Amino acid sequence: MNTPPIYLDHQATTPLDERVLEAMLPFFTSEYGNPSSPHTCGRTAARAIRTAREQVADLVGAKNELEIVFTSGATEADHLAIVGAALAARPHGGHIVTTAIEHKAVLAACQRLVDHHGYTLTRVGVDAHGRVHPADVAAVLTPNTVLVSVMHANNEIGTLQRLAAIAEITAPRGIVLHTDAAQSVGCGLLDVAELGVDLASLSAHKLHGPKGIGALYIRGGLRITAQQTGGGQERGLRAGTPNVPAIVGFGAAAHLITTDAVPPPPRIRALRDRLQDRLLAAIPGATVNGHPHRRLPGNLSLTLPGIEATDLLDRVPGIAASTGSACNTGSGEPSHVLTAIGLTRDQARATLRLSIGRTTTDTDVDQAADLITRTAHTLVPAPANAA
């Protein structure tokens, strides 16, 4: 049997936790009811969804489970949030604001409003650490602005944004604040009340839950226009028979985090720092992207000068990692995030994203550091006096 690679791509997706799988299994077989059915089978499924909704609400600090709407993932949640909130607020204005480093799901949803609904869009830039300055957001707001969307943590460089400071600017003006929190929610970093956001997009597969399920947190009382209509499920905000096993799995994965049944972020941060220290010491000129402290605990975006990251990864099949983000991989275009923080096209192409997660071990980190260092030295030989 082939040895599996050392998995350092937890920001692309995470392995399903076995306890999550166990919670899901009955809903594929014996508990197959449609939650809309009024009989016992339907009621069992509806109860399971209610529990999962409470578990996800608890994870993000929502007031109650009615603030959670299940979707097929963060991509759909981004579209429902951005298009749905902007359309509902159309009588108040047609200007929306986002940032230069958003996930493509957010950028595409904003573009949809521009192309099909006549909105104007402003993209705020970031500093060299990938941080959005709240004053820069304030500077572009107009009386016509109805929505601001700023991601909580970046999927490539891990930088965390000061959402609470941005909310202090948007809330008094009645502007809706959305955040894509797909990357931060699994680290227990998202508290919607503390951050003051109105809408937050979530995804289960980034937190050891199943793929194809996510949710949108919608602050109670906020109006949004449904994007998928039909049978009236999810209180009319997302029609379609719910994916019961996946929703149960999302709830179970959330519950593992809120009950501290998983390795805590400091353990992941310590492994990340060990990998970072080893690679910086061994590869001359290597630099870390993203904010030095205010970034996701498992994220390591490294630029290795003179090296094509795809070339390096091709030569180390024993490591599963990413160049830039998984979503940009294969497009041939340098990442818009890396260029937004000021990297040249060559530097962007020389950038690896290594992401540590719950399943990463000390041995994984040490072996990966050795393999990457050796391969980097074959591609760009280290000077004689380098470590």
Ligand X SMILES: Cc1ncc(COP(=O)(O)O)c(C=O)c1O
Supply φ then ψ for residue 309, to 5 degrees: -60, -35
Residue among 56, 85, 101, 105 that touches ligand X (CB under 6 A) = 105
Rounded Cα distance between 139 and 124, Å, is 10
Report the nearest approach of ligand X to the CB of residue 326 (Å): 6
Instruction: Report 1-60 residues binding ligand X (CB under 6 A).
Output: none
201 versus 233: smaller Cβ distance to ligand X: 201
> Whole-number minimum distance, CB 78 to ligand X, in Å?
6
Residue 87 binding ligand X, by CB under 6 A: no
- The SS3 of residue 207 is coil
Residue 155 engages ligand X in binding (rule: CB under 6 A): yes
How many of the chain's residues bind ligand X (CB under 6 A)? 13
Per CB under 6 A, 234 contacts ligand X:
no
Binding mask 194-213 for ligand X (x = CB under 6 A): ---------x----------
The residue within the footprint of ligand X, chosen from 10, 79, 95, 103 (CB under 6 A), is: 103
Q: How far apart are CA 226 and CA 85, in angstroms?
A: 9
Residue choice 33, 35, 73, 210 for contact with ligand X (CB under 6 A): 73
| 11 and 298 Cβ atoms separated by less than 8 Å | yes
**Nearest approach, Cβ of residue 75 and ligand X (Å):** 3
φ and ψ at residue 233, rounded to 5 degrees: -65, 165
Binding mask of the shown chain, residues 167 to 196, with x at each position contacting ligand X by CB under 6 A:
-------------x-xx-------------
Q: How far is the CB of 374 from ligand X (least distance, A)?
A: 30
Evaluate whether 139 touches 161 at the Cβ level (below 8 Å). Answer: no
Query: Smaller CB distance to ligand X: residue 151 or 237?
Result: 151
Alpha helix locations (H) across the chain?
A: 18-24, 40-60, 74-88, 104-117, 134-140, 163-170, 192-195, 244-258, 265-282, 309-315, 336-340, 345-349, 362-379
When the beta carbons of 93 and 209 are compared against ligand X, the nearer one is 209
Whole-number minimum distance, CB 345 to ligand X, in Å? 22
Q: Write the interaction track for ligand X spanning residues 320-359; mark x where CB under 6 A is met and - where it is not.
A: -------x--------------------------------
DSSP state of 197: -
Choice between 14 and 75, CB closer to ligand X:
75
Q: Is 327 a catalytic residue?
A: yes
Helix/strand/coil percent split, the chain, to 5: 45, 15, 40
Q: Is 254 in the site for ligand X (CB under 6 A)?
A: no
Report residue 5 as tokens. 């690679």
Neighbouring C-beta atoms of residue 175, cutoff 10 Å: 23
Q: What angle do CA 9, 13, 14 make, to 5 degrees?
A: 90
Q: Rule CB under 6 A: say whether 99 interacts with ligand X.
A: no
- CA dist 131 and 289 (Å) reads 12
103 or 286: CB nearest ligand X:
103
Q: Which stretch binds ligand X (CB under 6 A): 72-80, 116-124, 238-246, 287-295?
A: 72-80
Q: From the CB of 103, what's the least distance to ligand X, in Å?
A: 4
User: Token pair for residue 75?
Assistant: 């991509």
Number of helical H runs and strand E runs in the chain: 13, 13
Return the amino acid letter for 337: V
CB of 289 to ligand X, least distance (A): 16
Intra-chain end-to-end CA distance of the chain, in Å: 36
Cα gap 126→380, rounded to integer Å = 31
- Catalogue the active-site residues: 327
**What does the binding site for ligand X look like in residue numbers (CB under 6 A)?**
73-75, 103, 105, 151, 155, 180, 182-183, 203, 214, 327
